[in-house]
Structure 1
Amino acid sequence: MNEDEQTIKNAYPVVSPTDVCILENEKELQEDRQGNKWWQKVLSKIEVPHDIGDPISVLRNPDLRPIKTKDRTWGFWSFFAYWGLPNFAVATYSTGSALLALQLNIQQSIGAVVIANILIAFFTILNSNPGIKYHIGYTLDQRMIFGVYGSFLGIIIRVGLSIVLYGYLGWLGGLCMNMVFDSFSKNYLNMKNTFSESVPMTRKDCIGFLCFQLIQMPFAFVRPRRVNVPSIVSCFMTLFAIIGMMAYLISKNGGPGPLYHEKVTLPSSTRSWMWISAMSIWYSGVSGGVTNQSDYSRFASSSKKCYTGLFLGTVLPGTFVSLAGMLCASACKGLYGETYWTPDEIVEQWLNDDYSAKSRAASFFVGISFTSSQLFLNLTQNGYSCGMDLAGILPKYIDIKRGTLFVQLISWVVQPWTFFNTSSGFLNAMSSFGIFTTPISVISIIEYYCIRKSKLSQLDFFTLSKKGSYWFDYGVNWKAVASLLAGITMGIPGLIYQVHEEISPNTEMLNFYHGYLFFIPLVSGGLYYILSLIFPFKHEKLCCEDPIDYFDCFSEKELEKMGMLPFEESQEVLYEVGDQRVEEFDAASLSEHEEDKNNLRIETKLRPKKRI
């Protein structure tokens, strides 16, 4: 055997035998198996729209594939607005005031909020990187941690919470709509309720809720990445409205009001738990957004812009709006003898005192500002997110548009008006959401950073091959499932005690519930890490990346950094010798690069001719 033949023998293919199996399985999943039966023909007609070069299967559709470079347009202000929306909204404004029900004063409540916001930003940044680096969303992230089949568990949890929160925020949006309608007509302001006393809402509340739901529906046809600009505008509109409300109320009252000067009478031990509970309540309102951050971090034009935007968008508005809400509530207590927790209550008081052009203008501007923030908050945090999740359950038949329309139509069944009967009901609804999402966030962080060392295979997300790195055991990562259930189970008793006050609580379990923001990561995260050490996951593609940019989603700079070959639409056998690529290998081409004989690379015919 001569030297040239030996060099060819020692050359290695770019696509490994394992990837060959995965590519073949992927091709089988994408094949059109349309039958002749009537129901098969109907199903083929309702498949999601897709291009020939962007196929669909039981695991993928165009909305699930990694985001291309041209679509990654979100910069600093986009992420500032995305995380500003939950703060420039009624929920944050109201929750800041509701925290006073924990018998903390304003100063201590703000201290708890600041710490919680920093923790939220920290968690969110850690959850951003699968989306930033590999441009994948929450749905694929669930396949990474729970397995291809086990991912349905995390997706279904998120779908359920999205439906509840969509209705919840939709109801608040309806209250904001009524501020606009109240400015148009005094008769609407004083509309009589025609519902029976057993119905926990008024006719006016019902009208506002239905109108807000109708306004949201056309936005289902807008791509999620395109709502960044109106979200930025709505954030600043709401900021000016809050500043105006706070300035007017404090000025008219001659100070911040009686609540600001109240002293805390709680024992030090109880006070500590109320601090922890306040932080958990605050975190719970945005826990869903923290968990599915990859859905939007994949739109980032750079990691730096994403990190700085979300950090400042979380900490600054979160602290200011909560403080403004509590100061407004305190001033209202001094002015009107009532602690108004929502902007619509304050505006209604103004209109009832003096239905003048000045108060009507204030009602309109405050109403339209909060309505816009509620609209884009609900769409980005729940509507589009639920659409993305549902696309992961039935990729061939549901995309983001169809999934968003689904949650819009079904969200009313949660009866969100019942959340606002009492302040305790409001707190209970808000403080329970994070129990279900926090374990997912923590397990995802451990899996991405500790187990896979921040290296993922995009190709394996879309295969049912047992050779895929997300197959685990029969398509399920039992260690992640057990850790998730352990965290949720530990939090459920405290939630029951909180809702049913007539039950004598177990102090330890109730305290666990109050501090689940700190305790669930220890339970679920610690258990998952220990199980991973005892039963290590062994796979030849663990901590490995794809050799080829199969989805044509990386920039030249990213490809160079990861040592990945670019995607090409059509390519036969390609040899790489030194810095040159030649389609046919011969001794002459090799002789020009004598020093590179041992570094010869051969890309085989198994390289894709079509986009994977």
Structure 2
Amino acid sequence: MSRISALLKKLEVEPDGRPLSVLRNPDLEPIPHAKRQWAFWSFFAYYGLPNVSAATFSIGSALLTLGLNIKQSIGTIIVGNIVISLYTVLNSNPGYKYHIGYTLEQRMLFGIYGSVIGIIIRVGLSVVLYGYLSWLGALCLNLILSSWSKSYMNMTNTFPESVPMTKRDCISFLIFQLIQMPLSFVHPRKINGAGIVFCFMAIFSVIGVLAYTVSANGGPGPLYYESQDLTANQRAWTWLLAITIWYSGMSPVIANQSDYSRYGSHQLKMNLGVTLGVCLTGTLAPVAGMFSASATQQLYGEPFWLPTDMALKWLQDGYSAKARCAVFFLGLSFTGTQLVVNMTQNGYACGMDLAGIFPKYVNITRGTIFVQLISWVVQPWTFFNTSSAFLDSMTSFGIFTTPIMAINAVDYYLVRKTRISIADLFTLDHKGAYWFYRGFNLRAIFALLLGIALGLPGLAFSVNTNFKPNNALNNYYSGYTFFTVIISGLTYYILTLIFPIKQRVGVTDDKDFFNAFSLAECQSIGMMPYSEELEGEYMKLEKGEVERRDQDSTRKATSPRVSTSSHSETKMVIEIATPKE
């Protein structure tokens, strides 16, 4: 046992001078004020990057197959972007105000132990989507390599027909995976600079592709002028489904918005960056994709929806210096976009979540390396090169994350009135604010499962045409972007009224134990600013050696904290979960 204990001790993450326990490590703590440097352009790029990626460029193909024309598809995208912006801004707290991420939010919503439910949902999505976006990144990398070597572009396939990939794609996939590996050692808050650069490169690439194809064709092409005959009822539900398809790709990002809003330095700049990043780029790229596909149908006899396919077509038609230069820039732009998007939204996200499950042994870097090593298990090449149901079910991702987003907004704004205790996120004390019933918030869990359950039949109908669809459940699935928010959010709020939460609702910490708040923030919240003396006091709190008095939940948030005295007679011992030697 002593050898095993010694081995486990060596495997523990570097505590960096901070406490390490079964609930806590440095990557889970609130972000200090000095390290919150994301402003307008960082958030603009963070939400702009997925919108100007190669996958989003081709979203029009999915919308047009629903029976909408290009003009109607543009309308659904605009409405969808407004909804995405609203949901994201609402979900930016408590990340911005209290500087905590998605992982700790799950403890606040589902309980100290129940948080595993929300974390596991996102870990599963991160692993699958990491592999999916890595394969897309490999297709983008193919453009760079093909612009360098004509023999590489024309490489013959030596794999058996049973293997659903080409030799060229396999090579680029391995190279792209190797390029991503070193980024696991870069802290998520430091990747914003690269994100801004690649975002604008991709924007220029999208505009360039649009301008070239429409100009070469002499107009937008035949798809633009096509009309669709739908009844008013059909059009309404098709619009809802189109909005849902567009929203689903961003739904995991919205749910874990706090992971990056905690790096925000200014709330207005953050919200403006989010809104413009979503609405501007989120309209530009899909509209450019639809116009370009329409133009290529007339130019080449078939529509090209992916920019990678267009670029390879240019090289195949004439391997000139001009074409190679254009394709190289496109490849570099979209490859860089895939790198940053995949790392921020899947790699780092999975690392943060695994750190919440195994705080003593996993930090962001180790968790990111884990998802990089196992993502190939999902065999992402089968998503593109076989008749896989994965692409058909991609619109279902929001079924699992939208209820979490809705419950988070209701809990933070309506139940807790924007006031939470950070210290209680790291305690196993039964009187803690997030202990609920044996570590599980049954109200939130029920609301989550209800929202998911109502959407699953529609998912089954969408991927298996042998099932006879139920119209009501199918319609729910088409509009779960709105219906799930109402069902899960309202259910949770009603349950909190029927079964009120008794543990410390609307209470904040009376002291900044984590050195995470500026003086202005401490004054606004009513918190005693951090000082070196608090280090020793908090260590005692961890061991349960001293008592801390609750703040009066009715005290105004703007009242300054001028002393360590309490305004309430209620006492609670904070017993931070520490490992027993």
For normalisation by structure 2, the TM-score amounts to 0.91
* Residue matched to 1:542: 505
Distance 1:99 1:600 in 2: 60
Relative distance call for 1:429 and 1:417 in structure 2 (3 A) is farther
Please say if residues 135 and 173 of structure 2, whose CA atoms lie closer than 8 Å, have aligned partners that are also in contact: yes
Name the residue aligned to 2:366.
Answer: 402
Deviation at 1:293, TM superposition (A): 0.3
Q: Is the 8 A contact 1:132 1:294 kept in 2?
A: yes
Shift of 1:468: 0.5
1:553 is the counterpart of 2:521: no
Q: CA deviation at 1:197?
A: 2.2
Equivalent in 154, 166, 170 of residue 206 of structure 1: 170
| TM-aligned CA distance change 1:572 to 1:454, over 3 Å | closer
SS in structure 1 opposite 2:77? helix
Q: In 2 relative to 1, CA 192–468 (structure 1 residues): closer, same or farther, beyond 3 Å?
A: same
Shift of 1:567: 1.8
The amino acid that maps onto 1:568 is S
Cα distance in structure 2, aligned partners of 1:555 and 1:416: 45
Shift of the 492–57 alpha-carbon distance from structure 1 to 2, 3 Å rule, reads: same
Q: What's 2:250 paired with?
A: 286
Moved more, 417-426 or 88-97: 417-426
CA–CA distance in 2 between the matches of 1:433 and 1:320? 24
Q: State whether structure 2 residue 494 is matched by structure 1 residue 530.
A: yes
- Partner of 1:33 in structure 2? none
Deviations 1:438-475 (A, max 9, x none): 00000011111111000000100000000110000000
Identify the residue that residue 170 of structure 1 maps to in structure 2: 134
The 3-state SS of whatever aligns with 2:280 is helix
Q: Which of 19, 23, 26 in structure 2 is aligned with 1:59?
A: 23
Aligned: 1:562 with 2:525: yes
The change in CA–CA distance for 1:422 and 1:113 in structure 2 (over 3 A counts) is farther
- Which sits farther off after the overlay, 521-530 or 372-381? 521-530
Asked whether 1:83 is paired with 2:42, we answer no
Aligned partner of 1:108: which letter? Q
Q: Which amino acid aligns with 1:82?
A: Y
Residue in 2 that maps onto 1:196: 160
Which residue does 1:494 correspond to in 2? 458
Q: 1:320 to 1:432 in 2, by over 3 A?
A: same
- In structure 2, the residue corresponding to 1:117 is in which secondary structure? helix
Structure 2 unaligned blocks of 5 or more: 538-561, 567-571
- Superposition misfits of 4+ residues, deviation over 4 angstroms: 422-427, 571-574, 599-603
Is the 2:513–2:535 contact (alpha carbons within 8 Å) kept by the matching residues of 1?
A: no
| Residue equivalent to 1:146 | 110
Matched residues in 1 for 2:316 and 2:348: separation?
A: 38
Question: What does residue 348 of structure 1 align with?
Answer: 312
Amino acid in structure 1 at the alignment position of 2:192: N
Confirm or deny: 8 A CA contact 1:98 1:423 kept in the other structure: no
Amino acid at match of 2:14: P
Partner residue of 2:395 out of 420, 428, 431: 431
Name the SS for the 1:83 alignment partner: helix
Per mean C-alpha deviation after superposition, the further-off stretch among 191-200 and 145-154 is 191-200
Alpha-carbon spacing, 1:96–1:167, altered in 2? closer, same or farther (3 Å): same
Structure 1 residue 536 displacement after superposition: 1.0
For residue 105 of structure 1, what is the amino acid of its counterpart?
N
Aligned residues of 1:98 and 1:341 also touching (Cα < 8 A): no
Q: Look up the equivalent residue of 1:545 and give its one-letter code.
A: T
Query: Aligned equivalents of 1:51 and 1:319: distance in 2?
Result: 44
Is contact 1:480-1:528 (8 Å) kept? yes
TM-score (norm 1): 0.87
Kindly tell me: are residues 38 and 361 of structure 1, through their superposed partners in 2, closer, same or farther at Cα, counting changes over 3 Å? same
Give runs of aligned pairs for residues 253-264 of structure 1, distance below 5 A. Answer: 253-264=217-228
* 1:569 CA drift (Å): 1.3
Over residues 158-212 of structure 1, what are the superposed CA-to-partner deviations in whole Å (9 max), with x where a residue is unaligned? 0000111111111110000001111111111111112222222211111111111
2:95 pairs with 1:128: no
Structure 2 letter corresponding to 1:515: G
| Residues paired across the two proteins, number | 548
Matched, 1:450 2:414: yes
Cα distance, 1:523 vs. partner? 1.6
2-structure distance, mates of 1:442, 1:356? 53
Distance, in Å, in 1 between the alignment partners of 2:370 and 2:564 is 50
| Counterpart contact for 2:54–2:308, Cα < 8 Å | no
What is the match of residue 13 of structure 2? 48
Task: Choose which of 351, 358, 378 in structure 1 pairs with 2:342.
Answer: 378
Match of 2:2 among 37, 42, 46: 37
The amino acid across from 1:552 in the alignment is N
Q: Alpha-carbon deviation of 1:376?
A: 0.2
Any stretches of 5+ residues in structure 1 without a counterpart? 1-35, 575-598
Alignment of 1:417 with 2:381, yes or no, is yes
% identical equivalent positions:
56
Alpha-carbon spacing, 1:459–1:297, altered in 2? closer, same or farther (3 Å): same
1:602 and 1:254 mapped to 2: Cα distance?
75
- Please point out which of 165, 180, 194 is paired with 1:216: 180
Please give the per-residue CA displacement for 1:31-61, whole angstroms capped at 9, x wherever unaligned. Answer: xxxxx62111100001001123x11100010
1:246 and 2:210 aligned: yes
Correspondence for 2:121: 157
- Which is further off, 91-100 or 238-247? 91-100
Residues 230, 600 of structure 1: alpha-carbon distance in 2 compared, 3 angstrom cutoff = closer
Whether the 8 Å contact between 2:87 and 2:254 is mirrored in structure 1 is yes
Quote the offset at 1:77 in angstroms: 0.3
AA at the equivalent of 2:514 = F
The CA deviation at 1:394 is: 0.1
Choose the corresponding residue for 2:229, options 235, 256, 265: 265
Judge conservation of contact 1:98–1:427 (CA < 8 Å) in 2: no
Q: Which amino acid is the alignment partner of residue 377 of structure 2?
A: V
CA gap 1:513/1:423 in 2 versus in 1, 3 angstroms: farther
More displaced 10-residue stretch of structure 1: 198-207 or 127-136: 198-207
Matched, 1:481 2:461: no
Range with bigger deviation, 519-528 or 437-446: 519-528
CA distance in 2, matches of 1:572, 1:91: 48
Q: Shift in Å at residue 284 of structure 1?
A: 0.6
Which amino acid letter does the alignment assign opposite residue 180 of structure 1?
I
Distance 1:98 1:426 in 2: 14
Per-residue CA distance 1:271-309 (angstroms, 9 max, x = gap): 221111111011110111000000000000011111000
Per-residue deviation, residues 388-417 of structure 1 (Å, max 9, x unmatched): 001000000000000000111111111212
Q: Do 1:439 and 1:488's aligned partners in 2 also have CA atoms closer than 8 Å?
A: yes
8 Å CA contact 1:420, 1:426 repeated in 2: no
**What is the CA–CA distance in structure 1 between the aligned matches of 2:435 and 2:312, rounded to whole Å?**
57
- Give the CA deviation at 1:557: 0.4
Are the equivalent residues in 2 in contact too, given 1:105–1:263 (CA < 8 A)?
Answer: yes
SS of the equivalent of 1:159 reads: helix
Which residue is 1:23 aligned to? Answer: none
**TM-aligned CA deviation for residue 423 of structure 1:** 8.9
Query: What one-letter code is carried by the residue in structure 1 that aligns with 2:163?
Result: V
Contact kept? 2:201, 2:333, Cα under 8 Å: yes
**Partner-residue secondary structure (3-state), 1:128:** coil
Shift in Å, 1:602: 4.4
Mean Cα deviation higher: 196-205 or 118-127? 196-205
Q: 1:336 aligns with which of 300, 309, 319?
A: 300
Higher Cα Rg: structure 1 or 2?
1
The one-letter code of the counterpart of 1:559 is: C
Report if aligned partners of 1:419, 1:429 keep a CA contact under 8 Å in 2.
Answer: no
Q: Tell me which amino acid in the other structure corresponds to 1:569.
A: E
